[in-house]
Homo-oligomer: A and B are copies of this chain.
Amino acid sequence: MRAAIISIGDEIVLGQALDSNSAWISDQLIAHSIQTIEHCTVADDRAQIAQAIKRLAEKVDVLLLTGGLGPTDDDLTREAMGEAIWPGKPLIGDPSAVTRLEKWFSKYGSKMPRSNLKQALRTETASFLDNPNGTALGLADKLGDCQIFAMPGPPSEMKPMFIDHVLPSIASIDEDQSLLTMTVHSYGLGESVAAQRLGELTDRNRKPLVGTTVSGSMLAARIIAHGNKDQAQRELNETALLVEQSWEPYTFGRDEDTLSSSVGDLLRKVGKTVTTAESCTGGLLGKMIVDVSGSSSYYRGGWITYTNELKMDCLEVPLEILDSNGAVSKQTASAMAKGALKKAGADYSLAITGIAGPEGGSKEKPVGLVYIAIAQQTENDEPVIVRGFRFTGDRGMIRDRAAKSALQMLRFVMMNVNPMTALIWQLTDECD
The reply to whether A14 and B36 form a contact with Cβ atoms under 8 Å apart is: yes
Q: Which residues of B have CB within 8 Å of A22?
A: 15, 41
The reply to whether A10 and B211 form a contact with Cβ atoms under 8 Å apart is: yes
A13 within 8 A of B: yes
Could you say which of A16, A48, A55, A345 has the most chain B C-beta atoms within 10 Å of its C-beta? A16
A304 within 8 A of B: yes
Q: Helix, strand, loop or mixed for chain A's interface?
A: mixed
The reply to whether A307 and B296 form a contact with Cβ atoms under 8 Å apart is: yes
Which of B116, B154, B211, B278 sits near A283, CB closer than 8 Å?
B278
Q: Which of A33-56 contact B (CB under 8 A)?
A: 35-45, 48, 52, 55
The reply to whether B19 and A23 form a contact with Cβ atoms under 8 Å apart is: yes
Could you say which of A191, A203, A359, A396 has the most chain B C-beta atoms within 10 Å of its C-beta? A191
The reply to whether B283 and A393 form a contact with Cβ atoms under 8 Å apart is: no
A287 within 8 A of B: yes
A320 within 8 A of B: no
Which of B73, B202, B213 sits near A202, CB closer than 8 Å?
B73
A303 within 8 A of B: yes
The reply to whether B14 and A30 form a contact with Cβ atoms under 8 Å apart is: yes
Stretch from A192-200, A225-233, A409-417 at the B interface = A192-200
A38-78 Cβ-contact flags toward B at 8 Å (1 or 0): 11111111001000100100000000000000111110000
Could you say which of A26, A41, A214 has the most chain B C-beta atoms within 10 Å of its C-beta? A41
Q: Which residue of B lies closest to A214 (CB)?
A: B154
> Least Cβ distance of A274 to chain B in Å?
11
Contact size class for A?
A: 35 or more
Q: Which residues of B have CB within 8 Å of A14?
A: 26-27, 30, 35-36, 181, 224
The reply to whether B115 and A74 form a contact with Cβ atoms under 8 Å apart is: no
The reply to whether B15 and A25 form a contact with Cβ atoms under 8 Å apart is: yes
Q: Which residues of B have CB within 8 Å of A181?
A: 14, 16
A419 within 8 A of B: no
Q: Which residues of B have CB within 8 Å of A425?
A: 108
In the bound complex, how far is the Cα of B36 from the Cα of A16, in angstroms? 12
The reply to whether A303 and B304 form a contact with Cβ atoms under 8 Å apart is: yes
Q: Which residues of B have CB within 8 Å of A345?
A: 309
Q: Which residue of B lies closest to A44 (CB)?
A: B211
A331 within 8 A of B: no
A389-401 Cβ-contact flags toward B at 8 Å (1 or 0): 0101111110100
The reply to whether A300 and B293 form a contact with Cβ atoms under 8 Å apart is: no
In the bound complex, how far is the Cα of B20 from the Cα of A251, in angstroms? 26
The reply to whether A30 and B10 form a contact with Cβ atoms under 8 Å apart is: no
The reply to whether A211 and B74 form a contact with Cβ atoms under 8 Å apart is: yes
Give 9 closest A-B pairs by Cβ, nearest first.
Answer: A282-B290, A283-B283, A283-B286, A15-B26, A15-B27, A301-B306, A39-B41, A113-B192, A15-B23
